[in-house]
């Protein structure tokens, strides 16, 4: 089976800072790929390079067999790639429903308003936002805003979902719920690339893991292989808490 | 040949005026740099500076250059007052709010000014003689105005880089939140910056009044020039404003030698838009 | 939202316009028709600006440039090329739309205050250019030969017709504003207003959407300009591109509430009404500008969402009606 997403030798510089160096990996359809690494390793930058926010300086991004390198984010979105943000970005003065409808209207299917509304209602029910549909997005709390991010991305009915730390800032119960939700999304046929710091969750969810450090891939493999990799432990050494988590999830 | 002699009279004039334009723009760009507010009351404050010279000189008989100190002080206080009354509440609001808030101050000043002074022209008949250098004649009032503008720029530079409140201003401009965490009283610093910005505007108006007739609406065209200069020099870069002013002055000195003077604003504003598009940080880049 | 409810928000605006049209006829005073013309014109311009300002979130400080440019193009065709009013108005609207399209491609890349500054620069640059443009009469502008009005049954009839036409254009502006707001296109614009980067990531083609919003917000002002200067009989750079009128439009939109259909209408009404009162009042006429300034300041500082925004926030059931 060919890869849904194929990252080929992607590099990205910001001035003198080399944020990504020769990143290469494939993501087969219907899998969950976990992207981990210390803070500042270039994970979010990689997302930005994939969906066109900051196109790579070198290398190619292939999505469903099409070269999407350098396409603006809105064209990438229409090809069926949706994304959530590490720092939530709700459209504050619009209602929750309108927020989700934006995802449906301008996502893969280019729905009209009526159909978008139907999709939005369905997605909101799925992520538990239905009771808040008519509130302004700005009035939600952080956990709800995280759900809103997810709902907007799902409403786009994407082939590929980029999740940037959807678990950060959630309490253990909320994390457990979100893990279930993510798994369900994959079971519905959406491929997932996720950045995550909550180790036990990402180790549990992922079929495959890529570890970034200083913009380079330092390890790749199944969760078990990665957890045992000396390079990874070294990379996390500066962050004993994370290193501890890495072992725990073993 | 005729062009050359025209150039010899208009270019030095333009350069001298350029310094004064630069001083006015410095006020605008300082405020922008510190608090990201475009001060639309800039023009009327320049006009108030002009009337300041008029009253101190004509009514009180004060020498205009001594009068500058009075006007500077009043400008500073007026600015702090405007900040407290109109700007402080909208400092973190979307741009439209601060634009409209300062525009309402513009309306208030212009309205009161029109009621008090009418819109007929005023004139400060002040003569400082002229200086002859070769075939170039420099009017004394303009020469002194340029020197005062340079002096103020130097003083502003020293203030911003060598004194504690100046350093606070730069810190707040750089990152208000971080500055507050360091214990810098940001509200007072913002008010002071706004005061300094209006002070510079008022002083430039006071200087312009020594050689041009004016009315309460005269500040408008200098406000627009300040936008152009501010963008030329990089919005938020007070020292760049002086260079921007000089460039504008030189342009105004050169253009009349080649085409109708009425083309000057068309070229200025086209340049303004072009620079916004190509180098929004200004020709010299914003020093923050 | 079922179909009929989607359009309830149009009822109030249409009633307002109808009342304005009938007011001079009912009172039988010609002066009232002048006032009504001014208010209708303000409603048309403010509603158009709202598409860019209220829905898309871009602060245009020089929106009057489209009114002036459309006015000039229309006037030139009327006076020098002997076109009749209809095609000249259409040409004015088209010219304004085209100008917005070209400008939009360039300056809509700028955000926030930089965009606002660029729009000021463009207004001033075009004014200064036309000041030197001999084809359009340079600084003295152009004057319409009185005979032109004969084709419409004389000056009085032409005035009457202009009044009906400005009302029609106002309705067009309101309907366009409503249609944009309730459309998918409008949802995209509002997403841009709230967070342009996030909107793009969700698939909103922001550069295109912004450009079309700009074009839509320019066409009616261009037509209104052509109509106004036809009625006025002459056109000069300072009348066509008054920067302060641009800012007054912003005030109107803000006063009523940006991003709503009704807001700019009420704002234009309130602002023009207030100006009309202050200018004629013995007590205020000398300092009317200052009084307007104080009122504006109070609104900006204390009810930044405008009157409609305030009502919508306070009284939830009104949201449908006051969209």
Chain B CB contacts of C287 below 8 Å: 111-112, 115
B286: confidence class by pLDDT, cuts 50, 70, 90? very low
Picking from A54, A72, A73, A82 by the largest number of C CB atoms within 10 A of its own CB, the best residue to mutate is A73
Residue C203 in tokens? 């698939």
Cβ <8 Å between A113 and C201: no
| Mean local confidence (pLDDT), C52-56 | 92
Q: What one-character DSSP code corresponds to residue C154? A: S
For chains C and A, tell me whether 3 or more CB atom pairs sit within 8 A of each other.
yes
Question: Tell me, what's the ipTM?
Answer: 0.89
Residue B160 in tokens? 């911003």
Q: What is the DSSP string of C244-260?
A: HHHHHHHHHHHHH-TTS
Q: pLDDT for B1-42, tens place per residue?
A: 567 777 777 888 889 999 999 999 999 999 998 998 999 999
Chain C CB contacts of B104 below 8 Å: 293-294, 296-297, 300
Residue C257 in tokens? 């509430």
Count other C-beta atoms under 10 Å from residue C316's C-beta.
9
The reply to whether B278 touches chain C by the CB within 8 Å rule is no
- Percentage, residues of chain C above pLDDT 70: 93
Q: Nearest CA to B67 among B228, B206, B208? A: B206
**Per-residue pLDDT tens listing for chain A (250 residues):** 588 999 999 999 988 888 999 999 999 999 999 999 888 889 999 999 999 999 999 999 999 999 999 899 999 999 999 999 988 899 998 999 999 999 999 999 889 999 999 999 999 998 889 999 899 999 998 888 989 999 999 999 999 999 999 888 888 888 898 899 899 999 999 999 999 988 888 989 999 999 999 999 998 999 888 888 877 777 776 565 665 666 555 4
All structural domains of chain C, each given as residue ranges with its CATH number in brackets, are 3-319 (1.10.3470)
Phi/psi for A173 (5° steps) reads -65, -45
Inter-residue long-range contacts of B259-263, CB under 8 Å, 24+ positions, other chains counted: B260/C132, B262/C128, B262/C131, B262/C132, B262/C139, B263/C128, B263/C132
pLDDT of residue C82: 86
| Contact between C210 and C84 (Cβ < 8 Å) | no
- Percentage, residues of chain C above pLDDT 90: 49
Q: Which CATH number fits domain B2-117+136-278: 1.10.10, 1.10.3470, 3.30.420, 2.30.29?
A: 1.10.3470
Taking the C-alpha atoms of residue C320 and residue A168, their distance in angstroms, rounded to an integer, is 37
Q: pLDDT for C216-268, tens place per residue?
A: 999 999 999 999 999 999 999 999 999 888 888 988 888 888 888 888 998 89
Cβ <8 Å between C259 and A93: yes
Chain A CB contacts of C195 below 8 Å: 89-91
Strand extents, DSSP E, chain B: 130-133, 136-139
pLDDT of residue C323: 53
| Contact between A54 and A48 (Cβ < 8 Å) | yes
| Contact between A133 and A95 (Cβ < 8 Å) | yes
pLDDT of residue B226: 93
Taking the C-alpha atoms of residue C20 and residue A78, their distance in angstroms, rounded to an integer, is 46
pLDDT of residue B287: 39
Q: pLDDT for C305-319, tens place per residue?
A: 776 667 666 665 555
H-type helices in chain C, by residue range?
3-6, 11-27, 30-50, 64-79, 85-107, 113-131, 155-181, 184-194, 196-201, 206-232, 237-240, 243-256, 262-280, 288-302, 306-314
| Mean local confidence (pLDDT), C40-46 | 94
C 192-211 residues inside an 8 A Cβ radius of A: 193-195, 197-206
Taking the C-alpha atoms of residue B21 and residue B204, their distance in angstroms, rounded to an integer, is 7
All structural domains of chain A, each given as residue ranges with its CATH number in brackets, are 1-71+194-250 (3.40.50.300)
First CA to last CA distance, chain C: 13
Residue C133 has pLDDT above 70, yes or no: yes
Per the prediction, chain C carries an average pLDDT of 88
B 209-268 residues inside an 8 A Cβ radius of C: 224, 227-228, 231, 260, 262-266, 268
Could you tell me which residues are beta bridge partners of residue B130?
Answer: B139
pLDDT of residue B30: 93
Per the prediction, chain B carries an average pLDDT of 88
Chain C CB contacts of B269 below 8 Å: 121-122, 124-125, 128
Residue A117 in tokens? 């509304």
pLDDT of residue A237: 60
Cβ <8 Å between B277 and C113: no
Taking the C-alpha atoms of residue C4 and residue C286, their distance in angstroms, rounded to an integer, is 49
């Amino acid at each position: 089976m060919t890869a849904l997403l194929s990252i080929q030798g992607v590099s990205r510089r910001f001035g003198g800072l080399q944020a990504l160096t020769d990143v290469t990996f494939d993501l087969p359809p219907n899998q969950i790929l976990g992207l981990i690494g210390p803070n500042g390793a270039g994970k979010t930058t990689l997302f930005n390079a994939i969906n066109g926010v900051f196109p790579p300086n070198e290398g190619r991004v292939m999505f469903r067999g099409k070269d999407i390198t350098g396409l603006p984010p809105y064209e990438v979105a229409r090809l069926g790639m949706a994304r959530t943000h590490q720092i939530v970005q709700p459209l504050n003065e619009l209602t929750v429903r309108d927020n989700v409808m934006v995802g449906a209207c301008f996502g893969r299917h280019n729905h009209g308003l009526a159909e978008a509304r139907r999709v939005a209602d369905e997605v909101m029910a799925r992520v538990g936002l239905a009771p808040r549909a008519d509130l302004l997005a700005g009035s939600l709390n952080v956990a709800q805003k995280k759900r809103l991010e997810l709902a907007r991305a799902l409403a786009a009915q994407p082939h590929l979902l980029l999740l940037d730390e959807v678990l950060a800032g959630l309490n253990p119960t909320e994390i457990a719920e979100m893990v279930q939700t993510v798994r369900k999304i994959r079971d519905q046929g959406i491929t997932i690339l996720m950045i995550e710091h909550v180790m036990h969750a990402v180790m549990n969810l992922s079929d495959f893991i890529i570890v970034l450090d200083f913009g380079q891939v330092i390890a790749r493999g199944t969760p078990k292989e990665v957890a045992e990799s000396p390079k990874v432990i070294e990379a996390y050494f500066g962050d004993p808490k994370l290193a501890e988590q890495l072992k725990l999830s073993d | 040949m005729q062009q050359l002699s025209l150039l010899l009279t208009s270019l030095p004039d333009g350069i001298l005026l350029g310094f004064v334009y630069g001083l006015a723009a410095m006020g605008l760009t300082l405020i922008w740099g510190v608090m990201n507010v475009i001060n639309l009351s800039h023009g009327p404050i320049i006009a108030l500076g002009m009337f300041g010279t008029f009253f101190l000189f004509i009514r009180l008989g004060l020498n205009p250059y001594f009068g500058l100190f009075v006007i500077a002080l009043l400008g500073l206080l007026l600015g702090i007052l405007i900040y407290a009354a109109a700007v402080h509440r909208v400092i973190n609001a979307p741009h439209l709010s601060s634009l409209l808030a300062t525009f309402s101050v513009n309306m208030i000043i212009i309205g009161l000014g029109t009621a008090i002074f009418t819109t007929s022209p005023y004139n400060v008949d002040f003569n400082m003689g002229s200086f002859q250098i070769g075939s170039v004649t420099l009017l004394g009032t303009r020469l002194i105005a340029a020197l005062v503008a340079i002096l103020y720029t130097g003083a502003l530079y020293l203030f911003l880089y060598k004194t504690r409140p100046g350093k606070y201003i730069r810190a707040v401009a750089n990152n208000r939140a971080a500055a507050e965490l360091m214990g810098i009283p940001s509200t007072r610093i913002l008010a002071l910056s706004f005061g300094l910005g209006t002070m510079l505007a008022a002083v430039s108006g006071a200087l312009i009044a020594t050689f041009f007739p004016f009315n309460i609406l005269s500040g408008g065209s200098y406000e627009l020039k300040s936008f152009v200069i501010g963008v030329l020099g990089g919005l938020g870069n007070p020292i760049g404003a002086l260079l921007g002013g000089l460039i504008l002055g030189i342009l105004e000195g050169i253009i009349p030698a080649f085409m109708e003077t009425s083309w000057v604003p068309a070229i200025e504003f086209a340049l303004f838009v072009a620079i916004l598009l190509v180098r929004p940080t200004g020709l010299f880049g914003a020093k923050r | 939202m079922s179909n009929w409810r989607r359009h309830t928000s149009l009822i109030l605006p249409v009633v307002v316009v109808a009342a304005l049209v009938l007011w001079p006829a009912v009172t039988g005073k010609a002066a009232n028709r002048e006032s009504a013309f001014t208010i209708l014109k303000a409603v048309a311009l403010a509603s158009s600006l709202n598409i860019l300002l209220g829905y898309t979130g871009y602060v245009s400080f020089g929106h009057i440039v489209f009114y002036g440019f459309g006015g000039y193009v229309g006037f030139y065709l009327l006076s020098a090329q002997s076109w009749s009013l209809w095609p000249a108005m259409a040409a004015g609207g088209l010219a304004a739309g085209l100008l917005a399209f070209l400008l939009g491609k360039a300056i809509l890349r700028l955000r926030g205050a930089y965009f606002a500054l660029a729009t000021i620069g463009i207004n001033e640059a075009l004014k200064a250019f036309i000041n030197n443009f001999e084809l359009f009469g340079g600084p003295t502008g152009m004057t319409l030969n009185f005979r032109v009005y004969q084709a419409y049954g004389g000056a009085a009839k032409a005035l009457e017709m202009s009044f009906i036409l400005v009302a029609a254009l106002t309705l067009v502006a309101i309907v366009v504003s409503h249609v944009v707001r309730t459309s998918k296109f409008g949802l995209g614009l509002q997403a841009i207003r709230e967070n342009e980067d996030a909107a793009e990531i969700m698939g909103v083609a922001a550069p295109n959407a912004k450009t079309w919003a700009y074009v839509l917000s320019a066409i009616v002002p261009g037509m209104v300009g052509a109509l106004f200067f036809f009625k006025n009989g002459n056109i000069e750079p300072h009348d066509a591109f008054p920067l302060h009128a641009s800012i007054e439009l912003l005030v109107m939109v803000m006063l009523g509430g940006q991003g709503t259909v009704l807001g700019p209408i009420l704002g234009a009404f309130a602002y023009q009404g207030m100006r009309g009162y202050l200018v004629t009042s013995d007590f205020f006429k000398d300092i009317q500008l200052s009084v307007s300034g104080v009122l504006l300041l109070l609104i900006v500082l204390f009810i930044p969402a405008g009157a409609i925004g305030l009502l919508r926030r306070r009284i939830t059931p009104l949201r449908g009606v006051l969209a």
